[in-house]
Amino acid sequence: MGLMMVRGKEVSNSSDNEYEEVEIGDVKGEYGEDDAGVMHLDWTDDQIHYRLTYYGEQSEKEITKEELIETAESFE
């Protein structure tokens, strides 16, 4: 199960989880995963801030970080 948020202002990563910088096409983003296995992918494109969240425990399908990035790239 996934969730996509689009915001006018940047989404803050207020958790204690570490985020790593990733490439989403030609845009830089941040990827992180919390202790519950929830994956977050945040990026900004043309002053619009996006957060793609995947709840692995609530889904029958497992995805990888690379698949989450590919999904984000498909929005361009």
How many residues in total does the chain contain? 76
For residue range 23-62, list pLDDT tens digits in order. Answer: 999 999 999 998 888 899 999 988 888 899 998 776 677 8
For residue range 59-73, list pLDDT tens digits in order. Answer: 677 889 999 999 999
Residue 23, both tokens: 């490439």
| C-beta of residue 73 within 8 angstroms of C-beta of residue 65 | no
pTM over 0.75? The answer is: yes
